Amino acid sequence: MMALHKDNSFAGELLINEPLARYTTWRVGGPAERLYRPVNLDDLVMFIRQLPEGEDIFWLGLGSNLLVRDGGISGTVIATQGALNEIGNLDNGYVRVEAGVSCARVARFCRDHSLAGVEFLAGIPGTMGGALAMNAGAFGGETWRHVESVETIDHTGRLTERNASEYKIGYRSVRGPENEWFVAAHLRLDSSKKEKQDEIKQNIKALLEERGTRQPIGLPSCGSVFRNPDGYYAAELIEQSGLKGLCEGGACVSEKHANFIVNTGNATASDIESLINRVVNTVIEKQGVRLEKEVCIVGEPHLPGGDEQA
């Protein structure tokens, strides 16, 4: 077991062998060797400063766009949801958002302050930290189009503010300084529409209605599993390959949207990963296109000792 310094002053909750299925939107995943839930950013800094040198750290927000294998994650998982949860208006169209704030809450906050541009975040089931890490987008919008600067933390607990220009941004990809993680973002928004709050509300309403119509909302999923290849839509390639409804154990390709894999109630992470691989191989065979995963797959296939998680 990891030994923390005796003079620890962190105030959050440290859990040992904590099952991660309850923290992921797919509702699957083995245990975290250690999971820490900080109370705020200052507490997070204190906790990281007391970690042993070289400790593996994994960051967990709402657990969407994530598949944790049945063997779980070694090292320390830091759960930001409900912790890095501050959002504030910095005036002149700028908003500071901490990494644990849900994307939906960001959209609502900006709506309530008549700030336009991030209505699309209302349809993303994740946190700001995840949106920053992968340049999350939906309905034609992308996160980093609105990022002015970010705040990061490193293995030593050092906080740094960096300009957006220090990162290379692509479709669902973000590259920047290594061994740093996002803890907050400063967003630049359109504040010229203060008289058009109703218009922003209607945009969000329309996006959510479209999401409810097109996507399988009632069953656990991670969001879109695959990126859209250049010139194609992943969902169309999967559907044209006859894969809608294909199941592996309790995991099935959604009948409503083929780029979603749903947990019908008893899926394991192994079921889901196996189904992902079957979809990739079948689409290559039938369409000649290789699908790239958008979902992040982490952890060990089996629990220590070789046993499958029950």
Residues catalogued as catalytic = 172, 224, 294
- 111 vs 197: CA distance, rounded Å: 6
Locate tokens 């065979």: which residue?
285
Whether the CB-CB separation of 205 and 120 falls below 8 Å is answered with no
Whether the CB-CB separation of 52 and 11 falls below 8 Å is answered with no
- 133 vs 152: CA distance, rounded Å: 11
- Residue 85 tokens read as 């949860």
Q: How many angstroms separate the most distant Cα atoms in the chain?
A: 62
- Residue 254 tokens read as 């959604």
Contacts of 274 (CB under 8 A, 6+ apart): 248, 249, 251
Strands 159-163 and 247-248, how do they pair? unpaired
- 230 vs 228: CA distance, rounded Å: 7
Contacts of 307 (CB under 8 A, 6+ apart): none
117 vs 182, 204, 281, CA distance in Å?
21, 11, 38
